[in-house]
Amino acid sequence: MAKRSREPQYQEGEHLLQEWGASASTTADELSPFVGRAAAADIAIVRRLGALTSAASVELLQRLEQESDDKELRKEVKRALYRLQQRGVSVPEPPRQPATPVLASPIEGYLSPVDGRGDQLIWLAKPRPDGLLHLFAVINDPAGMREVEINVTTRKALKHATDELAAKHEIRLVGADWRYCDFLLCRAVEWSRSRDTPMSGDYPALRAQVTKEAVPRNLPPLVYSRIDPDEIRADESLRLRSVEVLEEPELRTWFLGPETVQPYLDELASAQESPLVLNQMQQSERLRVIIERAVTELFGDLHRESFVRRLHEMAYFFSATGRPERARQALAVALALADSKAGGRDIPFCEQLVRVSLVAWQQVASERQAEHAKSSLIVTPQQFAAEQQKRRV
């Protein structure tokens, strides 16, 4: 009967783990941050650990056994350890010490991917007697805090909101260390204050309802807890294949805005309107030179720092959603860009992003110009010269 009564909890826990980004292939070390968030999730974690034949599984199971005050959960842990032992995994005697409640904080953190404007959605959730305290925020890199609010909800309502985001807006949230989420939020407030950008909501005041801990300072990118940056730097192929990251649906909005690329669009337009007749090879060479300079300039200075941070966030998101190769490629771009003295030069991801953005906005400008020409009786000198050239050909 005990096993049957735990089955619904196990199913609920598996659903939570999937929502938090813990796929079926998640390792024991990667499961550790999710311990203590929800009782049902702990049951699912124990079941998973019992199937992972590693020393890390044993260590985490023994930690659960010592720290949990759930008698049934401890029984599940003992069964999981016994199964591992039967499969040849060494299970050392746990140290004799009194149990202390040092499980992970009940505060939960969630992150969305970063969109093409640099916006990112961050949630904090904290259980309380009358429901669930839910803090919702939108930050921008590099502008800072855009909006933040807090309300009391339920676990069911929170899940409904998550499902609605995915269904209507194709925005997926993944579980993340709440302290790191808090760090991003505090940093965004500092950016807004220093840049005098408008903020909706008072995060420091709302934060006091969630935690009394000191404000975190200079935390490393969260993806470093999953991927060793030195290993990424050692694999040159990741940077060379980085353009593949742009195929992911979360990067569909990653375009450089028209105001950002306008100087280069003007230069392209000026070249096309020139009275000099250029052959296709000369036109391609001029386009290459413009793109090369744009890649160098647009991914330099402040733009570079912002893109490095955004790519670190995307690397974590890809890792948390079971896409390790994309995570490694995104991190490779972040590291290469951080080390670069020439902006995005020789980084295929950056070069392709600039090329696609220029071509797309150039096409938009051409279509607008064509529409304007249809409705205008005035022929410009450039149009007249182009018509004369066509007739001579």
Give per-residue pLDDT as tens, 220-232: 999 999 999 999 9
Full DSSP string of 352-387 = HHHHHHHHHHHHHHHHHHHHHHHT--PPPHHHHHHH
Give CA–CA dist 319/22, Å, rounded: 10
The reported pLDDT for the residue numbered 374 is 57
Give per-residue pLDDT as tens, 268-294: 777 666 555 566 677 778 878 888 999
Give per-residue pLDDT as tens, 141-196: 999 999 999 999 999 999 999 999 989 999 999 999 999 999 999 999 999 999 99
DSSP state of 219: P
Domain boundaries, the chain: 2-86, 108-219, 229-392
- Tokens found for residue 176: 């993340």
Average pLDDT, stretch 8-20?
A: 82
Segment of 32-36, 51-55, 100-104, 342-346 carrying the highest mean pLDDT = 342-346
